[in-house]
Amino acid sequence: MNRVYLTMIAVVCLGALIASAAGPVSFPELTFHRPPRALAAGAVVSDWPRFLGPADNATSPETRLMSTFPEKGVRIVWEMATGEGYASPSIAGDRLVFIHRINDDEVIDCLDPQTGKRYWRKRFETTYRDRYGFNGGPRCSPVIDGALVYCYGVTGRLTCHRLSDGEVVWQTNTSERFKVPQDFFGVGSSPLVVGDRLIVQVGAPGGPCVVAFDKRTGAIAWRAGDQWGPSYASPVSARMHGREVVLVFAGGDSRPPTGGLLVIDSLDGTVLSRFPFRSRKYESVNASSPVCVDGKVFISSSYKTGGVLLSFDEEFAAKVEWQSDALGSHFMTPIAHEGHLYGVDGMGGGDMSLVCVDLKTGRRLWKWAPELIETAMVAGENRQLNYSIGRGRLLRVDGRFLCLTEEGHLLWLSLTPAGQTILSRTWLFAARETWALPALSRGLLYVNQNGKDTINGTRARLICYDLRGE
């Protein structure tokens, strides 16, 4: 080890010791309601350190969660008024990290997951304006790895912080450094830590498409890809033919639209395989992360594109097992379970449906668009309101599926090849663009209410719900 590296380790450790002496504090934007229930006896719990959870597949190992939502709604532990953004929080141990935008600053908050009290806050100025009128907040979720946390802003600002006190360890701006023009909706692919590398999809014109940074120093370890721009799908790791690989579903703003799957050796950045897959529509994105099952990879996109299951020989030559329009995922990453894919098919609005697809054949076994009817007071009158799942998110946990709909319903679902059942349902809020995958850790569910509740008027907030069972 060189002297610089040893010094950096000492600084990180010293920072952790100093921060541990000072506990988190309350602040005006925080409302604490009540402590969570005790965990049920024998409950399995876990961290949620990155966008798609501990295994990069929107699946949690947690158990002993409540099986039925209370009639009066799920109990809120705490809530924090937030700014703009579409990110999910990340949780490891007694730290929760969330990134959002307040006025002209991207703000990183580190909170206590059970009380919402703040350990630290960092601000970075931003001038981002969305080309299509969506909000100007960050789209990427933080990544917690040991004593460090990584945050990727909507303009390409990449920062590495000490988790203990938020001190910046290193930073760079990928858009400026690699001369990447603003994409359709800014930067939206969450980074991934694999070993000593922080893998980032930067999408520079002519390359690199993907860059691996040394996670401790920020030095570039390798660059990969020279054809496809950035997408809104986050990279995932996999093991194929004895090699640790990174799966990147690339493809950004380009004429003609190009993109597809890159299989990259995580150690040296060698592109092992490249499979083109992208809508022919210019205004389209690849936004659903790859799903790896038994060495095969499923990728999917909406815009009348559908999905494809690929296998790879020992030389990583891709073979199409099947291609189908049975599941065209907009930005929800499908979940593979017991030989089947479960996902949200469609572009948006009223055409969204939950579907089940046979992984072996690509045949769609069912398509389901549940109607969620509510009665609520609107403009002084009781009205019947009809909702759908919209561009909802699925999370598999405790032997069931948890679905957060686009407009704030939370559903416990039984999904099998034979059919589907709503086991329990509740209405958290009536806010549109609820697009962030909720995070689950230690029986607590963290939901980013991105917009204003159109019925009770609550504005954007990060909410901690108690899902612990008896």
Residues 306-353 have pLDDT tens digits of 999 999 999 999 999 999 999 999 999 999 999 999 999 998 867 899
Q: What are the φ and ψ backbone dihedral angles of 428, each rounded to 5 degrees? A: -75, -45
Say if residues 311 and 295 touch (Cβ distance below 8 Å): yes
- Dihedral of alpha carbons 23, 26, 29, 32, sign: positive
Say if residues 134 and 142 touch (Cβ distance below 8 Å): no
Q: Which residue has the tokens 């990427």?
A: 140
Report CA-CA distances (Å) from 355 to 75, 293, 335, 410.
30, 18, 11, 18
Find the mean pLDDT for residues 44-63.
98
pLDDT category at 106 given cuts 50, 70, 90 is very high
pLDDT in tens, 427-456: 999 999 999 999 999 999 999 999 999 999
Say if residues 292 and 236 touch (Cβ distance below 8 Å): yes
User: Rounded to whole angstroms, how far apart are CA atoms 27 and 36?
Assistant: 20
Say if residues 60 and 71 touch (Cβ distance below 8 Å): no
Q: Which residue has the tokens 């005790």?
A: 38
From the list 397, 469, 387, 384, the residue with the least C-alpha distance to 428 is: 387
pLDDT category at 201 given cuts 50, 70, 90 is very high
Report CA-CA distances (Å) from 34 to 144, 252, 408, 427.
27, 44, 22, 20
pLDDT category at 17 given cuts 50, 70, 90 is very low
pLDDT category at 380 given cuts 50, 70, 90 is confident
Residue 19 has pLDDT above 60, yes or no: no
pTM of this prediction exceeds 0.75 = yes
Q: What is the pLDDT of residue 6?
A: 44
Residue 5 has pLDDT above 80, yes or no: no
Q: What is the pLDDT of residue 11?
A: 43
